[in-house]
Amino acid sequence: MPVDAPVSASNAEHYTWGPSDRPCDGWHLVRAPEVSVILERMPPGACEARHRHERARQFFFVLEGRLTIELDGRETELAAGSGLEVAPARPHQAFNRANCDARFLVISQPPSHGDRVAA
């Protein structure tokens, strides 16, 4: 897709992740060597595996719903319109403990794919 073309969940590269009983969705809105912007949808009760990134700095920004992020053993609940930065090497995990979908952006610099280590 050309860099000057509008991008949305309807035309971005899509993938699913997570357990089969609570699959999550991701859409690559920006996929470049220096930065990644992913739109994520996490259903109620879903979570990701606790992990860290060796190089990537991430910013989670909630668009709809609520998202809980555990960072270094401390939980922070994010409402729509708020975000949290996660520095490289910091163990973290995202949860949706609300009763509705969470939709959020994950911005990573550099991209986090291939940079994930279980924590």
- Sequence ranges of the domains in the chain: 18-118
Which class is domain 18-118?
mainly beta
Mark 21-37 as b/e (b = at least 16 C-beta within 10 Å).
Answer: eeebbbbbbbeeeeebb
pLDDT for residue 1? 59
| pLDDT tens track, the chain, 119 positions | 566 889 999 999 999 998 888 899 999 999 999 999 999 999 999 999 999 999 999 999 999 999 999 998 999 999 999 999 999 999 999 999 999 999 999 999 999 888 889 98
pTM above 0.85? yes
Residue type, 67: L
Q: Which helix (H) or strand (E) holds 56?
A: none
pLDDT for residue 7? 95
Residue with token string 């910013």: 59
